[in-house]
């Protein structure tokens, strides 16, 4: 049983390279993670994800606010009773310890070394390889991916209640990475472990999370399941951060009650806006269809980029003097320079205040 609560948590660093300029890494952060929930902290580089994970782990102290495990203040719980398994980006393995010693540390202290092989087996399942062969080696004799496997094994080889993972699969081969996420998800459900998982990769977030918390500049900008964030973003930031290929966005002004982008024509707004207001309209690449000549708007293909794993082709086209991204099925073939005709589904358009980035619904 493990819940985590963050109440008004803030953390500031002082940048030594810039005359101790304060860097407000986490700002007034509130979050509740339920027992057995898998929460992914997703955001761009430098948004504060690792800082947040370190605070939740008790490795750093917040400057303001409180952190609770099961509604008990974190600093009132002795470290050995916190039940945390951690995997950080740089995996911090002790250089003069063989993997076996690293993985077995927690259980050996409790005279339960005989349980280590079962945990090693668990990790072999997650990462899809036999890690027994790594057990007799020192960190300097391990590749990046192998170090990552050892640190995952260490995280699991204890009485687990909470897993804190910071990009744990970054060094695994792409083939193993997707398998590892699925297996991790299965195991945390099986063992009823609470998971907080940091990544900047939305595909990773999608496959691991019950709930995604999108962070920008140290604050939560939106949280929910992937499809809700993707289909119904509250802000331009979330609309642009989630979804591949990236949403098409165009700037325009309100005139006579409609959005008006030069060369783009006029588009009805979801609710009335002041004339002259600046609004960004967004259309996802999947809502543009190639149709027969005569039916749609002509566009010239500039680039054709197949994404075999994702099973689509991205076309970059010039349409009404703007560059657009269009997603088409992989089996349809196009050439750069070719003219195609496009149908734009404006009923799926999203509108954002150009100044604040807030969604207009
Ligand atoms: P990434 O995805 O690149 O790992 P992140 O979202 O995990 O980034 P953090 O590592 O939490 O981001 O950093 C948040 C901010 O705090 C950044 O601006 C970073 O430069 C700053 N920061 C983090 N640690 C320190 C530190 N020890 N001293 C000074 N600044 C720091």
Cα 15 from Cα 49, distance rounded (Å): 18
Predicted confidence (pLDDT) at residue 3 exceeds the cutoff of 80 = yes
Where does ligand 1 bind, in terms of residues with CB under 6 Å?
Answer: 13, 15, 23, 25, 43, 45-51, 200
d(CA 193, CA 52) in angstroms, rounded, equals 19
Tell me what percent of the residues of the chain surpass a pLDDT of 90: 59
What percent of the chain has pLDDT above 70? 98
Query: In the structure, what pLDDT confidence band is assigned to residue 46 with cuts at 50, 70 and 90?
Result: very high
**Contacts (Cβ under 8 Å, ≥6 apart) of 317:** 299, 300, 301, 302, 323, 324, 326, 340, 342
Q: How far apart are CA 149 and CA 358, in angstroms?
A: 41
Per-residue pLDDT at 229 exceeds 70: yes
Q: Which residue, by CA, sits nearest to atom 1 of ligand 1?
A: 45
The protein residue whose alpha carbon is closest to atom 3 in ligand 1 is: 45
* 24 vs 117, higher pLDDT: 24
Please tell me the predicted confidence (pLDDT) of residue 102. Answer: 84
Max mean pLDDT among 131-140, 200-209, 333-342 falls in 333-342
| Residue-level pLDDT at 91 | 64
The pLDDT of residue 173 is 79
- CA–CA dist 361, 359 (Å, integer): 6
CB 14 within 8 A of CB 20: yes
Alpha carbons within 13 angstroms on the beta-carbon side of residue 258 total: 9
Inter-residue long-range contacts of 258-267, CB under 8 Å, 24+ positions, other chains counted: 259/351, 263/320, 263/321, 263/322, 264/320, 264/322, 265/320, 267/346, 267/349
Widest CA span in the chain: 77
Please tell me the residue having the least CA distance from ligand 1 atom 20: 46
Q: Locate 303 and state its tokens.
A: 């680039």
Closest ligand 1 atom to 198 CA: 7
CA contacts within 13 A on the Cβ side of 179: 12
Residues 64-80: what's their mean pLDDT? 92
When comparing pLDDT for 171 and 255, which is higher? 255
- Ligand 1 atom at minimum distance from 89 CA: 4
Cα separation of the two ends of the chain: 39
CA of 59 to the centre of ligand 1 (A): 14
Q: Identify any residues that bridge with 186 across adjacent strands, giving them in sequence order.
A: none
As a whole number, mean pLDDT of residues 268-274 equals 92
Confidence at 154, pLDDT banded by 50, 70, 90: confident
Model confidence at 76: pLDDT above 90: yes
What pLDDT does 129 receive? Answer: 67
- Average pLDDT estimate for 100-111: 83
Q: Measured on CA atoms in the order 287, 290, 291, 295, is the torsion positive or negative? A: positive
| 106 or 338, greater pLDDT | 338
Rounded to the nearest angstrom, the gap between the alpha carbon of residue 78 and the centroid of all alpha carbons in its chain is: 31
Ligand 1 midpoint to CA 47 (Å): 7
Q: Whose CA is nearest to atom 17 of ligand 1?
A: 46
pLDDT band at residue 1, thresholds of 50, 70 and 90? low
Is the separation of the CB atoms in 211 and 34 below 8 Å?
no
């Amino acid at each position: 049983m493990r819940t985590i609560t963050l109440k008004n948590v803030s953390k500031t660093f002082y940048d030594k390279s810039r005359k101790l300029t304060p860097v407000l890494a986490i700002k007034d952060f509130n979050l509740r993670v339920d027992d057995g929930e898998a929460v992914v902290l997703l955001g761009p580089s430098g948004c504060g994800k690792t800082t947040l994970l370190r605070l939740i782990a008790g490795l750093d102290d917040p400057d303001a606010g409180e952190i609770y495990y099961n509604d008990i203040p974190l600093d009132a719980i002795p470290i050995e009773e916190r039940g945390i398994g951690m995997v950080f980006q740089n995996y911090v393995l002790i250089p003069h310890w063989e993997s076996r010693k690293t993985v077995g540390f927690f259980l050996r202290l409790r005279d339960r070394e005989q349980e280590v092989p079962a945990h090693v087996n668990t990790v072999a399942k997650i990462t899809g390889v036999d890690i027994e062969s790594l057990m007799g080696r020192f960190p300097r004799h391990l590749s990046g991916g192998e170090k990552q496997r050892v640190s995952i094994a260490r995280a699991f080889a204890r009485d687990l209640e909470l897993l804190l993972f910071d990009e744990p699969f970054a060094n695994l081969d792409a083939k193993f990475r997707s398998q590892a996420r699925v297996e991790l998800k299965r195991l945390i459900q099986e063992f009823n472990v609470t998971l907080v998982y940091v990544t900047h990769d939305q595909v990773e977030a999608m496959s691991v999370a019950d709930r995604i918390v999108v962070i920008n500049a140290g604050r939560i900008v939106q949280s929910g399941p992937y499809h809700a964030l993707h289909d119904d973003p509250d802000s331009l930031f979330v609309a642009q951060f989630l979804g591949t290929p990236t949403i098409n966005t165009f700037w325009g002004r309100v005139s006579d009650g409609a959005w008006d982008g030069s060369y783009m024509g006029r588009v009805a707004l979801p609710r009335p806006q002041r004339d002259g207001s600046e609004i960004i309209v967004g259309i996802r690449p999947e809502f543009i269809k190639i149709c027969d000549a005569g039916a749609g708007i002509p566009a010239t293909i500039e680039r054709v980029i197949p994404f075999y794993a994702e099973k689509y082709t991205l076309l970059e086209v010039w349409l009404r003097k703007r560059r657009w991204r269009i997603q088409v099925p992989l089996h349809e073939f196009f050439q750069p320079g070719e003219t195609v005709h496009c149908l734009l589904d404006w009923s799926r358009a999203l509108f954002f205040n150009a100044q604040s980035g807030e969604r207009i619904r």
